[in-house]
Amino acid sequence: MDRITESLITELLSNLEIISEDESKDFEKLANYTVVSNEYNKTFDIETLTVGDGNDTGIDGIAIIVNGQLVESTDEVDDLLEKNNSLEIEYLFVQSKTSPSFDGADINTFMFGVLDFFSTKPKLVRNDDIKKFAEVSNYIFNKAP
Determine the Cα–Cα distance for residues 45 and 59; give it in Å rounded to an integer: 17
- Count of H helices and E strands in the chain? 6, 3
Number of domains into which the chain is organized: 1
Structure confidence by residue, pLDDT tens digits, 46-83 = 999 999 888 888 899 999 999 999 999 999 999 999 99
* Model-wide pTM > 0.85: yes
Rg (alpha carbons) of the chain, rounded to whole number = 16
The residue type of 77 is: V
Residues 52 and 59: beta-carbon distance below 8 Å: yes
Q: Residue 119: is its pLDDT beyond 80?
A: yes
Residue-range definition of the domain harbouring residue 15: 3-142
Strands 69-71 and 89-94: unpaired
Side-chain-side CA neighbours of 54 within 13 Å: the count stands at 0
Kindly indicate the confidence band of residue 106, based on its pLDDT and cuts at 50, 70 and 90. confident
- The 10s digit of each residue's pLDDT in 7-61 is 999 999 999 999 998 899 999 999 999 999 999 999 999 999 999 888 888 899 9
